[in-house]
């Protein structure tokens, strides 16, 4: 399968800005208003998904596509969050944990659906880093995050993911984390792996984004801060254009 969106997003290693839409927290008029601002801010990609599911993911994707031309990639927290209506999927392997269901088990169950869907697949190494906050990911996946002071383990885990053939590393502090990923972690991972790096969790201000880009991340993912106030999206996304 070709990786058109992957190549477009990361061609020339330009900085990208991704918006995470959690169906549990974004729907109806609130979602429409957020998407209007996202279009004006030229968000590069919208990720759709979350740790819990009571609202069909396909309903959210249809709404996004009705109000935005931005590519939509699945960011699944479980097998219920699959849809052929998306443009692609970040196929997450939770490298920081030791729960086999999130390393390979769910991937086996989803494999035939994904093959038939024809959507673009981006194999992604997902590393949950301790953000001093019990995240939904940690609780639902029944795995422990890597301590933020264990940089050597974080770097080695990211490198192992690259050596396994993954195309993207996602460093995650967890939704609503008290502390975002530290710059030294990002820079050391950047100096070790050649594949693109996304950073998410605990990102609240333009200054946060600026520091993350400068540390070497190819992209940032913002969700909770925009859920609280979609109007900040314009200022957050504008930082990308400084680089």
- pLDDT on residue 185: 98
- Identify the CATH number of the domain in which residue 79 sits: 3.20.20.390
Binned at pLDDT 50, 70 and 90, residue 3 comes out as: low
> Count of CB atoms within 10 A of residue 223's CB?
23
Model confidence pLDDT, tens digit, residues 141-176 = 778 899 999 999 999 999 999 999 999 999 999 766
Q: What sign has the CA pseudo-torsion 9, 10, 16, 22? A: positive
SS3 assignment, position 133: coil
SS3 assignment, position 218: coil
- pLDDT on residue 168: 97
- pLDDT on residue 1: 39
67: which 2 tokens? 């109000």
Model confidence pLDDT, tens digit, residues 18-74 = 999 999 888 899 999 999 999 999 999 999 998 776 677 999 999 999 999 999 999
Cβ neighbours of residue 23 closer than 8 Å, sequence gap 6 or more: 48, 49, 50, 53, 55, 56, 57, 59, 60
CA 117 to centroid of chain Cα atoms: 21
Listing DSSP states for 100-120 in one string gives HIIIIIHHHHHHHHHHHH--E
Model confidence pLDDT, tens digit, residues 70-114 = 999 999 988 889 999 999 999 999 999 989 898 999 999 999 999
- Stronger pLDDT, 131 or 231, i.e. the higher one: 231
Is residue 212 within 8 Å of residue 181, measured between CB atoms? yes
**Mean pLDDT of the region 217-229:** 94
What is the count of structural domains for the chain? 1
* Enclosing domain of residue 206: 4-242
CA 79 to centroid of chain Cα atoms: 17
- pLDDT on residue 137: 77
> Count of CB atoms within 10 A of residue 64's CB?
24
- pLDDT on residue 53: 67
User: Given the structure tokens 């990211």, which residue do they identify?
Assistant: 158
């Amino acid at each position: 399968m070709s990786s058109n969106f992957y190549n477009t997003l990361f061609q020339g290693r330009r900085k990208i800005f991704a918006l995470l839409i959690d169906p549990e927290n974004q729907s109806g008029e609130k979602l429409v208003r957020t998407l209007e601002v996202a279009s004006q801010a030229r968000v590069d990609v919208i990720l759709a998904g979350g740790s819990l599911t009571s609202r069909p993911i396909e309903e959210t994707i249809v709404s996004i596509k009705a109000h935005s031309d931005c590519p939509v990639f699945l960011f699944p927290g479980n097998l219920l969050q699959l849809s052929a209506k998306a443009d692609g999927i970040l196929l997450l392997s939770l490298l920081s944990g030791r729960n086999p269901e999130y390393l390979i088990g769910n991937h086996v169950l989803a494999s035939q659906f994904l093959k038939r869907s024809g959507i673009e697949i981006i194999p992604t190494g997902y590393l949950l880093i301790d953000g001093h906050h019990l995240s939904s990911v940690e609780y639902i996946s029944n795995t422990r995050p890597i301590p933020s002071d264990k940089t050597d383990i974080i770097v080695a885990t990211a490198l192992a993911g690259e050596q396994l053939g993954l195309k993207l590393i996602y460093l995650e502090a967890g939704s609503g984390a008290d502390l975002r990923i530290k710059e030294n972690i990002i820079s050391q991972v950047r100096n070790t792996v050649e594949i693109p790096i996304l950073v998410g969790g605990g990102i609240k201000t333009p200054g946060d984004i600026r520091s993350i880009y400068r540390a070497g991340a190819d992209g940032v993912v913002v969700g909770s801060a925009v859920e609280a106030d979609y109007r900040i999206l314009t200022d957050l996304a504008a930082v990308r254009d400084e680089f």
